Amino acid sequence: MATATIPTHPLLAGVGALLDGRHGEPGFLAERRRQAAASFTELGLPTRRWEEWRFTGVKHLGEVPWVVAERGRQLLPMPRPSLADGHRLVVADGWLEPELSRLEGLPDGVFAGSLADAAAHRPELVEPHLARHDALTDHPFVALNAAQFRDGVLLWIPPGTVLDRPVELELIARRHDRPTVVLPRVLIVVGRSSQATVVHRSSGGSADTFTCAATEVVIEDGAVLDHYSVIDDDQSATHIASLEVRQGRDSALHSGAFTLGGGLVRNDLAVTLRGTGADATLDGLYLTAGSQHVDNHLLVRHGAPGGTSRQLYKGILDGSSRAVFNGRIVVDPGAQKTDARQSNRNLLLSAEALVQSNPQLEIFADDVRCTHGSTIGRLDEDAVFYLRSRGLDRAAAESLLTWAFATEVVDRIRVPGLRDSLRDAVLARLPGSAQIAEAL
């Protein structure tokens, strides 16, 4: 039975050994891999005829003989300094590197470590949650990751536990001499009434890497999670990442998604408010230049009454870069008193940059408040002149206004080190930053 369903898509070349248990994985995992592999085989790679992939082409992924990254033995690029001075898990090419990680001082009962180890030795933590998608069910790359990820991170926080310091997940792609798929998998479970902050950074991807990352987050009743993700690959890398969040009653999520680098980046963020009174705040910022293409697809499903969701995604586009924002809000029939808001604002710094911004509201309840707004524009020339008339030159004036546009999102980051680092990253993109940096 198992061998009969082994698919033949080149991107699944390594899956056979996983499905027939040669890596000693528990049965539940092999079964979920089998389902995922079948799903990927059935779906195939997206084409532009797919509604969800209309503006983002991934044809190149089918034209390259990819191999799945094996556990590397060569030296890693030096991991960047910690942003959060917190607990730290370093994942290289999808494999946890324990010797680079720093986990002392975690509260009792917290599991922070290798996902593969956890699946083998603590299956009770993993089995109820892993690859239990209820939103990203027809997403080929989520399936691809589930079919053949080899390792990653489990962060499991028992009920009633507060993590004082952030947990940093540092995901690094090594340099490879042939086209390599990197498949990091992260599972975060925040137990009932617990609280945590996670900073999730990805870097190192280059022309020969395709990062296909999948993260699942479960926020149980009354729990709070701040989750920040930063993608900062080379301008030639392909990075497709998904984050699926399942929220319990009265839980709260603050998500900040920052895309700084990467040639082709696709972020799917799907949040399901399963419990009554859950709250999701979803911030995003993408800074693009050159020929970068960044696609943010958001799906917020209000599945229970009294939920609140706020989306604020901002983009600053230069060069001939492209951005896609697709924000979908679904309010289920029983989800009365839902309050959902969405805002996507884009600043174009060049005439060649292009944005596709597409809100989608699907409301099946009658006592709700849903709003959305989308803007695409250039810098306000009245404001530029006002600043110049006070002595700032054009580059400084434009930089100051661009800075102001970005900081609305950046200043909402609640981890100071990360906030500073993103402020620096924004400043570094501005031509007139030297003149204004001192004043800021």
Which helix (H) or strand (E) covers residue 244, if one does?
strand 238-247
Considering the rule CB under 8 A, would residue 434 count as an interface residue with another protein? Answer: no
Considering the rule CB under 8 A, would residue 99 count as an interface residue with another protein? Answer: no
Residue 316 C-beta: closest distance to another protein, Å = 13
Question: Between the CA of residue 153 and those of 167, 169, 187, 268, what are the distances in Å?
Answer: 11, 8, 6, 19
Tokens, residue 216: 């699942």
Tokens, residue 363: 């409301």
CA angle (209, 211, 213) in 5-degree steps? 170
Considering the rule CB under 8 A, would residue 420 count as an interface residue with another protein? Answer: no
Report the alpha-carbon distance of residue 398 to residue 349 in Å, rounded: 9
Residue 259 C-beta: closest distance to another protein, Å = 20
**Shorter beta-carbon distance to another protein: residue 2 or 440:** 440
**Shorter beta-carbon distance to another protein: residue 67 or 383:** 383
Pick the closest to residue 318 from 285, 284, 348, 356 (CA basis): 348
Give how many residues touch another protein by CB under 8 A: 28
Considering the rule CB under 8 A, would residue 351 count as an interface residue with another protein? Answer: no
Considering the rule CB under 8 A, would residue 76 count as an interface residue with another protein? Answer: no
- Tokens 């994985």 correspond to 25
Strand 95-96, strand 195-203: pairing: unpaired
The window from 21-29, 57-65, 95-103, 405-413 that contacts another protein (CB under 8 A) reads 405-413
Is residue 429 within 8 A of residue 289, CB to CB? The reply is yes
Residue 342 C-beta: closest distance to another protein, Å = 19
Question: Between the CA of residue 354 and those of 5, 38, 56, 269, 357, what are the distances in Å?
Answer: 42, 36, 13, 22, 10
Residue 411 C-beta: closest distance to another protein, Å = 9
Rule CB under 8 A: which of 361-400 touch another protein? 380-383, 385-394, 396-397, 400
Residue 60 C-beta: closest distance to another protein, Å = 38
**Shorter beta-carbon distance to another protein: residue 353 or 410:** 410
**Shorter beta-carbon distance to another protein: residue 54 or 388:** 388
DSSP 20: T
Q: How much helix, strand and coil, in percent to the nearest 5, is found in the chain?
A: 25, 35, 40
Name the burial class of residue 173, with classes exposed (0-12), middle (13-18) and buried (19+) by CB atoms within 10 angstroms of its CB. Answer: buried
**Shorter beta-carbon distance to another protein: residue 24 or 391:** 391
Pick from 193, 358, 360, 407: which binds another protein (CB under 8 A)? 407
Binding marks (x or -) toward another protein, 144..183, rule CB under 8 A? ----------------------------------------
Pick from 263, 405, 422, 425: which binds another protein (CB under 8 A)? 405
Residue 254, SS3? Answer: strand
**Shorter beta-carbon distance to another protein: residue 364 or 386:** 386
**Shorter beta-carbon distance to another protein: residue 200 or 345:** 345
Residue 26 C-beta: closest distance to another protein, Å = 51
Residue 51 C-beta: closest distance to another protein, Å = 35
Pick the closest to residue 269 from 311, 233, 236 (CA basis): 311
Pick the closest to residue 426 from 295, 315, 297 (CA basis): 315
**Shorter beta-carbon distance to another protein: residue 364 or 385:** 385
Pick the closest to residue 88 from 222, 217, 1, 198 (CA basis): 198
Interface residues with another protein (CB under 8 A) are 380-383, 385-394, 396-397, 400-401, 403-405, 407-408, 435-436, 438-440
